[in-house]
């Protein structure tokens, strides 16, 4: 039987936070953090902005957009004015060490003198950074485990984990501490914790300006993203960062869904059934011909993901693996070290396979506007369930979009047990009109 956590504060929408005074909002965030169970609090917060500083910054966020006050016109507030958010500790804040879930990286990398691009963008939009969140060490994991700062519990089911690697960001939104949190997604690190924690999420694309200056895991697939507790707030963030030039109304897009059973035979029956039923309410199933073409292009995608992702991670870490061996999570140290032994031909073949996957996606999007896949093969797992087999099963669902370099909207799927799954709505471009169409349904 699942252990239910003491009742966490209700999640509040953007509008409720914007209605608070800056002092009141800053006090509320600190109070909500203090009320969290100690293991959860330790596993989610990497750095917290002092209450007085946060209140001052939130006050700035309530100002008018420069130049918006024109004769005969109406005042225009910054679209995310007064919205507090937490930032995954892969992104830089000026004067705050970036540790990337590790215990040593701040010793070999100087404290940043400037903010990451995504922080600057959110600042311009009126949002205020309340702190930084813990993560799976160096973002190399999908279940929220970290031996240094504690595995991240699910806020409502503390005997289960929140998912990772953006574990702290997802958990703080699910716990109602803030309405918005920034994460990253290489192999599913927005999509997986969003599904496990019942959140909405959005994964951007690799090589975008919002990810370019984050501490990298595998640059070919690294993407920025974010979490909210509801669809309207996800849409407001998306419109502010991505889709502000889109028309107010959009035509009905054409899409299809791929059932869980087409990719995995060992998925949890309840989540498989509920995800397929949720997808069927949005669009019809994929036709046999298109399914065959897609699955053929995705052959060996798991091996391709691991080879490319871990070989790129090894390149980033190779100068630290020997001198800082004892400071790494042993599992992650082994994962990065083993990748340094991949034969050159294996890596060459993986990048050739990547091109085949890109071609398969291009062909699909000639005829469809989106594809829906389940996000996870099970609800939030317990520690004992976080096995290599679970990792492979998750990646069977998430790796195709990662390798395609594609943006993904994540929406939650409630389960009868009270736990949650999720759907991936995979689109060809971050500003796809599919995003507002789905969120406005």
Q: What percent of the chain stands above pLDDT 90? A: 91
Residue 268 lies in a domain: yes
The pLDDT value given to residue 7: 67
pLDDT of residue 247: 64
Structure tokens at 223: 């993407």
Interval 394-418: pLDDT, tens: 999 999 999 999 999 999 999 999 9
The reply to whether 91 falls in a domain is yes
Whole-angstrom Cα distance, residue 222 to residue 116? 15
pLDDT band at 161 (very low <50, low <70, confident <90, very high): very high
CA dihedral over 358, 255, 420, 227, signed as positive or negative: positive
User: How sure is the predictor about 65, in pLDDT bands with cuts at 50, 70 and 90?
Assistant: very low
Residues facing 202 on adjacent strands: 226, 409
Q: Would you state the pLDDT for residue 427?
A: 98
Residue 249 has pLDDT above 70, yes or no: no
Summarised one tens digit per residue, pLDDT across range 28-44 is: 999 999 999 999 999 99
CATH number assigned to the domain comprising residue 125: 3.90.1300.10
What average pLDDT does the chain have?
A: 94
Per-residue pLDDT at 127 exceeds 80: yes
Q: Is the pLDDT of residue 246 over 90?
A: no
Report d(CA 165, CA 323) in Å as an integer. Answer: 25
**Is 71 a domain residue?**
no
Residue pair 145/161 in contact (Cβ under 8 Å)? The answer is: yes
Q: What pLDDT shows up at residue 124? A: 96
- In this structure, the number of other CB atoms found within 10 A of the CB of residue 81 comes to 21
- Residue 142 pLDDT grade (very low, low, confident, very high; cuts 50, 70, 90): very high
Alpha-carbon distance values, 268 to 200, 333, 378, 399, 421 (Å): 21, 30, 5, 19, 10
Q: Which domain holds residue 8?
A: 1-66+77-441
Per-residue burial over 229-248, b = 16 or more CB atoms within 10 Å of its CB, e = otherwise: bbbebbbbbbbbbbbeeeee
User: Token pair of 411, please?
Assistant: 């929406």
pLDDT at 297: 97
Q: What are phi and psi of 404, to 5 degrees?
A: -75, -10
Q: How many other CB atoms are found less than 10 A from the CB of residue 31?
A: 12
Q: Could you tell me if residue 321 is inside a domain?
A: yes
Count: domains in the chain: 1
Check: CB of residue 164 under 8 Å from CB of residue 15.
no
pLDDT of residue 77: 74
- Given pLDDT bands bounded at 50, 70 and 90, which one contains residue 248? low
pLDDT of residue 243: 80
Cβ atoms < 10 Å from Cβ of 125: 19
Q: 69 forms bridges with which residues in the sheet?
A: none
Place of tokens 């004992």: 384
Residue 245 has pLDDT above 80, yes or no: no
Give tens-digit pLDDT for 308-351.
Answer: 999 999 999 999 999 999 999 999 999 999 999 999 999 999 99
Measured CA to CA, the distance from residue 268 to residue 270 in angstroms comes to 6
Cα torsion angle, 92, 95, 101, 104, sign: positive
Does residue 191 carry a pLDDT above 90?
yes
Domain-located, residue 375: yes
Q: Residue 76 pLDDT more than 80?
A: no
- Residue 6 has what pLDDT? 58
Q: How far is CA 84 from the centre of its chain?
A: 17
- Lookup: tokens for 7: 């009742």
Overall average pLDDT of the 260-275 stretch: 95
Taking the mean position of all CA atoms in its chain, how far away is CA 31? 25
Residue 72 lies in a domain: no
pLDDT of residue 184: 99
* pTM, two decimal places: 0.95
Residue 44's pLDDT is 98
Higher-confidence position of 66 and 161: 161
Contacting residues for 48 by C-beta, under 8 A, at least 6 apart: 30, 33, 130, 131
Q: Mean pLDDT over residues 387-394, rounded?
A: 98
Quick check: is 319 in a domain?
yes
* pLDDT over 60 (residue 187): yes
Q: What does the pLDDT read at residue 1?
A: 59
pLDDT given for residue 4 in this prediction: 63
% of the chain surpassing 70 pLDDT: 94
pLDDT band at 74 (very low <50, low <70, confident <90, very high): very low
200-203 vs 45-48, strand pairing mode: unpaired
């Amino acid at each position: 039987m699942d252990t239910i956590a003491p009742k966490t504060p209700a999640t509040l929408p953007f509008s409720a936070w914007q209605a608070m005074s800056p002092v009141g909002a800053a006090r509320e965030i600190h109070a909500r953090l203090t009320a969290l169970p100690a293991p959860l609090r330790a596993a989610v917060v990497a750095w917290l902005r002092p209450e007085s500083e946060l209140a001052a910054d939130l006050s700035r966020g309530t100002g008018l957009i420069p130049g918006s006050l024109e004769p005969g016109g109406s005042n225009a507030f910054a679209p995310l004015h007064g919205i507090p958010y937490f930032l995954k500790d892969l992104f830089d804040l000026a004067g705050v060490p970036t540790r990337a879930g590790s215990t040593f990286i701040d010793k070999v990398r100087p404290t940043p003198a400037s903010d990451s691009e995504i922080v600057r963008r959110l600042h311009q939009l009126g949002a205020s950074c309340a702190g930084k969140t813990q993560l799976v060490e160096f973002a190399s994991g999908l279940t929220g485990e970290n031996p240094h700062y504690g595995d991240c519990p699910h806020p409502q089911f503390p005997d289960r984990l929140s998912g990772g690697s953006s574990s702290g960001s997802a958990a703080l939104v699910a716990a109602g501490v803030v309405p918005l949190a920034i994460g990253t997604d290489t192999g599913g690190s927005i999509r997986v914790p969003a599904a496990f924690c019942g959140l909405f999420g959005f994964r951007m694309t690799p090589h975008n300006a919002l990810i370019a200056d984050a501490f990298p895991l595998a640059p070919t697939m690294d993407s920025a993203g974010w979490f909210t507790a509801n669809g309207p707030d996800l849409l407001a963030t998306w419109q502010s960062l991505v889709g502000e030039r889109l028309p107010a109304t959009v035509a009905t897009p054409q899409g299809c869904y791929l059932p869980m059973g087409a990719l995995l035979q060992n998925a949890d029956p309840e989540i498989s059934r509920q995800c397929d039923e949720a997808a069927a309410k949005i669009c019809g199933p994929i036709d046999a011909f298109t399914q065959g073409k897609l699955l053929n292009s995705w052959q060996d995608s798991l091996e391709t993901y691991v080879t490319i992702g871990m070989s790129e991670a090894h390149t980033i870490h190779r100068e630290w693996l020997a001198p800082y061996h004892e400071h790494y999570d042993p599992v992650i140290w082994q994962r990065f070290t083993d990748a340094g032994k991949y034969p050159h031909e294996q890596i060459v073949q993986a990048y050739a396979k990547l091109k085949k996957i890109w071609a398969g996606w291009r062909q699909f999007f000639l005829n469809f506007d989106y594809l829906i896949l389940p996000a996870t093969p099970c609800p939030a797992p317990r520690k004992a369930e976080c096995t290599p087999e679970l990792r492979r099963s998750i990646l069977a669902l998430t790796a195709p979009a990662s390798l395609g370099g594609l943006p993904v909207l994540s929406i939650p799927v409630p389960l009868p047990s009270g736990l949650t799954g999720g759907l991936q709505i995979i689109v060809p471009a971050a500003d796809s009109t599919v995003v507002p169409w789905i969120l406005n349904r």
